[in-house]
Chains A and B, each alone.
Chain A
Amino acid sequence: MSAKSRRNALIPYLFVAPFLLSFGVFVVYPLAQSIVLAFMQTNGPKTRAFVGLDNFSWLFTQDPDFWKSVINIIIYTAGSMLIQLPAALGLALLLNRKDIKGRGFWRMIFFAPILVGLVFVAIIFGLLFAPNNGLINTTLFQTTLMFDRIIPFYPDSWIFDLEFRWTAEFAMPAMIIASFWMYVGFNMIYFLAALQNVSRDLMEAAEVDGAGPWQRFLNVTLPAIRPIGTFVVLLSFIGSVQLFELPYLLIGEDGGPGKKGLTPVMHLFAKGFDAGDLGYASAIGWLIAMVLFAVALVQKKLSNPGTD
């Protein structure tokens, strides 16, 4: 190989070197460090001792808060995906109709909440869910009071308690409602993009063959949007498992009474930065990462059946 061709062969590496360098320093090195840390017991950033798999065994056998957070996140993930994704698909189907007026206007309204960010959503919903004077409590109280005045024999116990504390007693539904408000429009955009690529010819052919709207939806639309659908499911799952800011600000940093709002990432944060055990926090982090990786693999298999 001549000197010139050797130099030419090096040019692409030279171009990607800045990226590789920053990727190595800011991604690969911290990841490698966190693997090492997962096998250490630490007390702050400077004191560490090798403990083997003790962090993991402690996590599985001696840490009830972690399991509480896992159960919470399963409920949250199931709740938000079972409500959010069908609603997003429903909205997308409505907006995908040919005869819809003001599609851009509706799309803008439904997409708007994603622009404000999770911290902002936590603050807004913290105010909306506030006991006594929050909008939700006031509305429910006034509505049930109106029913009490109109309907004879309306039980007094059905009048909504103004002092009801959503974020303490109903932490998980409050979080599901807040995230529903934020993400439904975001997921709708994905579904809408997928629906706009469903072949019109195929739909018309199905219609000519006598397929009704429901059959067309099941046999033409759903298979066509399946890859995007599974991607949205995966995205929602990852977002749910990594949930942190919303419960931290809405429910409280300790997860509220009975730790009903505690999530695994909040637990990780508490262990790593409040208790100072970065090793244990790394073990939690890697466990979460492995779960997400496994789910991503399953999703890949499901979205491409018959291919690798």
Chain B
Amino acid sequence: MRKRWWTPFAIYIPLGAFALVTLVPFAYLIFSAFKTKETFFSGPFWPVEDGGAWWAVDWAGFTIGNFTRLWTDVKIGEASFLRAVLNSFFFASVMSAVGTLGARRWAATAWRCSSSEAGSLSRRSCWGLW
């Protein structure tokens, strides 16, 4: 098939535009994580100096305090953030393990029942539950 000169543009411009739309909220979020309460709304992405243009970065407006506060000050009810992370980790691990083992059990039984070598199990009793 003959390739036209504009084919790469027709492919990569939509892909690039879409990637930009996808990444902008992530970029916004990453910048937001390093802003203080006072500078949060000072500029669309990075902190901007008072009365300055949107590209005038206020370097003093950046902080890593949000990350330290997360592990020291933040409480979710009575629990710390660490507790919440551990809860999620525990839940995800147990659910993955139980789900995988359960699915494996189901698949193994289904395979055994459907194979012609069902052994001593009658096909009826084998499939009775499924």
Contact = CB atoms under 8 A, between A and B. Distances in A.
B109 A12 contact: yes
B121 A181 contact: no
A127 B28 contact: yes
A109 B19 contact: yes
A142 B102 contact: no
Interface in A81-127: 87, 90-91, 94-95, 97, 99-100, 106, 109-110, 112-113, 124-125, 127
Given A109-B19, A142-B54, A128 B25 contact: yes
B51 interface: no
A9 B25 contact: no
A100 B11 CA distance: 8
B129 interface: yes
B121 A124 contact: no
Nearest to A110: B22
A91 B18 contact: yes
Given A15-B109, A94-B15, A185 B22 contact: yes
Interface of chain A, main secondary structure: helix
Contact of A94 (B11, B25, B32): B11
Chain B's interface size range is 20 to 34
B14 A133 contact: no
Contact of B120 (A5, A97, A139): A5
Sorting the interface of chain A by its residue count into under 10, 10 to 19, 20 to 34 or 35 or more gives: 35 or more
A55 interface: no
Nearest to B127: A12
A216 to B, nearest CB: 11
Interface of B: 1, 3, 7, 11, 14-15, 18-19, 21-26, 28-29, 32, 41, 44-45, 54, 102, 105-106, 109, 113, 120-122, 125-126, 128-129
20 contacts: A5-B120, A8-B120, A12-B126, A12-B129, A13-B129, A15-B105, A19-B106, A94-B15, A95-B15, A99-B3, A106-B19, A109-B22, A110-B22, A124-B25, A135-B28, A135-B45, A139-B44, A181-B21, A185-B22, A207-B1
Interface of A: 5, 8-9, 11-13, 15-16, 19-20, 87, 90-91, 94-95, 97, 99-100, 106, 109-110, 112-113, 124-125, 127-128, 130, 132-133, 135, 138-139, 142, 181, 185, 207
